[in-house]
Amino acid sequence: MTERIFKLIPQAQNYAWGKLGSNSKVAELVANAYQDITIDSEKTYAELWMGTHPNAPSIKMNTGENLKDVVLANPDLLTPAIASKYHGDLPFLLKVLSIQKALSIQAHPDKKLAQQLYKKYPNIYKDNNHKPEMAIALTPFEGLCGFRPLLEIKKNLRKYPEIVEVIGKDIVKEFNYIVTSRLYKKFEYAYVLRTKRALKKLYRSLMEQDQEIVKNQLSKLIERITNEDPNPKRGTLNEVIRRIEAQYPGDIGVFSIILLNYVSLKPGEALYLAADEPHAYISGDCIECMATSDNVVRAGLTPKFKDVNTLVNMLTYTCKSADHQIVTGTPYFHSSTTLLYNPPIEEFSILCTNLSMETKKTRESFRGFRGPSIIIVTEGNGRIIFNGKYYDACKGSIYFIGANTPITLETLDNNTTFYRAYTELFKNKL
């Protein structure tokens, strides 16, 4: 009989932007639950992957099997419907991220574009799937997400004249005219269309500018704001610009900060990043879940390949305030201990269960989901109970839960937190 619950061995990714050694949440979790894995204090630990993606597949601990081979051989772990729709594979990839240095300015393609990029550039874009994703802050977390409201962009263009010199004065003048024109505002659809076109033209001109001009104007910008505002408060635009420019000197992506929303998340707050929306994580630790893909189109803050033309053409140029980018969990079926993060896609939802001896809410039971799930313990010490059997779940432990497997989560500590990513083809509307 197929095991319904089993422990996974994840894989860590040592990207340059990660945190060093035990300072990394990724390393902290791995070291606590997987004592056979040695943490190197000289290495950065950026991402912990939990899933079936071929770049870093998880392993079934008690057998050494690749998780993808396990679910391919046992479609009942997914349900026949999910196995059929996703070709026997897990639809999502769960991660923990630990960020010391800003990630690239990037966006993820939708399914149609992903298929086109994979067919045309298979050495760059490694799969043909889209990659909508959600990040839930484990610690204070900073990022860039989507374009700022139009009038805020207009204000920043006036405040930072160096970016105008990079974009071109005529293009900026045209953008400002369209944004504030009463003529266009009378016709909402036409106004939205024209402002999107104007913003795309402005952003293309910025991102395609000659590198020497970019470096020259960026140098002037840093010198000016350092003299005018020598001790900026953390999280202000001047401070974020200076901090990221120090990480990526002379990089065009620094100017994007002036146009994109800066967001600061408290633990438990989240960002949902749909296809074709620009973003970049800046600092902090988070749970991240996405459709099973590693497709990224980059255009700044990176030494990696930049596909500026693809990025500029794929973006939606939707403008919303920073507040509109932040997502909070909602009680799961009126639970006082579990929050649901439910993005508008089929591939995944996320539950966060917090159990505590102090509140005497030490257990919570769940029905069997109509699809697979993966659980990671991010704090405390607990266990998973199924069919009279107890599975130890200390901090860092990761378990696969097969479809239609009812479980109970329990804390053995003052405060234990479980994050659970799962798939159901037909989501409950709570």
Domain boundaries, the chain: 144-327
* 186 confidence band (pLDDT: 50, 70, 90): low
Contact 3, 61 (CB under 8 A): no
Quick one: how far is CA 345 from the chain centroid?
Answer: 15
242 is catalytic: no
Residue positions forming the annotated binding site for Zn(2+): 106, 108, 133, 279
Measured distance CA(235)–CA(108) in Å, rounded: 26
More confident residue, 164 or 35: 164
Asked if pLDDT for residue 145 goes beyond 60, the answer is yes
More confident residue, 130 or 13: 13
Q: What is the pLDDT of residues 226-235, one digit of tens each?
A: 999 999 999 9
**Exactly one of 298, 363, 367, 383 is catalytic; which is it?**
298
Enumerate residues 6+ apart whose C-beta is below 8 A from 320. 146, 147, 149, 261
Task: Give the pLDDT confidence score for residue 428 in this predicted structure.
Answer: 58
CB atoms within 10 A of CB 4: 20
Task: Give the pLDDT confidence score for residue 312 in this predicted structure.
Answer: 96
Provide the residue count of the chain. Answer: 430
* Sequential DSSP letters for 358-388: TTTB-EEEEPPPSS-EEEEEEESEEEEEETT
Structure tokens at 329: 């969990």
pTM of the model: 0.94
Q: What is the pLDDT of residues 60-75, one digit of tens each?
A: 999 999 999 999 999 9
Asked if pLDDT for residue 383 goes beyond 80, the answer is yes
Q: Dihedral of CA 280/286/289/292: which sign?
A: positive
Measured distance CA(186)–CA(181) in Å, rounded: 9
* Closest C-alpha to 396, from 41, 102, 138: 138
Measured in degrees and rounded to the nearest 5, phi and psi for residue 408 equal -125, 135
Asked if pLDDT for residue 274 goes beyond 90, the answer is no
Asked if pLDDT for residue 182 goes beyond 80, the answer is no
The stretch 407-418 carries a mean pLDDT of: 95
Asked if pLDDT for residue 429 goes beyond 60, the answer is no
User: 169-180 and 188-207 are packed helices; what angle lies between their axes, rounded to 10 degrees?
Assistant: 160
Task: Give the pLDDT confidence score for residue 220 in this predicted structure.
Answer: 98
* 420 confidence band (pLDDT: 50, 70, 90): very high
Measured distance CA(375)–CA(393) in Å, rounded: 10
Average pLDDT of the chain is 94
DSSP character at residue 77 = G
When mean pLDDT is compared across 93-107, 117-131, 406-420, the lowest value belongs to 117-131
Residue positions forming the annotated binding site: 106, 108, 133, 279
More confident residue, 126 or 43: 43
Asked if pLDDT for residue 267 goes beyond 90, the answer is yes
Measured distance CA(404)–CA(423) in Å, rounded: 11
The stretch 333-350 carries a mean pLDDT of: 94
Structure tokens at 370: 């109509």
CA atoms within 13 A on the CB side of 159: 13
Q: Is 144-327 a CATH 2.60.40.10 domain?
A: no
* 185 confidence band (pLDDT: 50, 70, 90): low
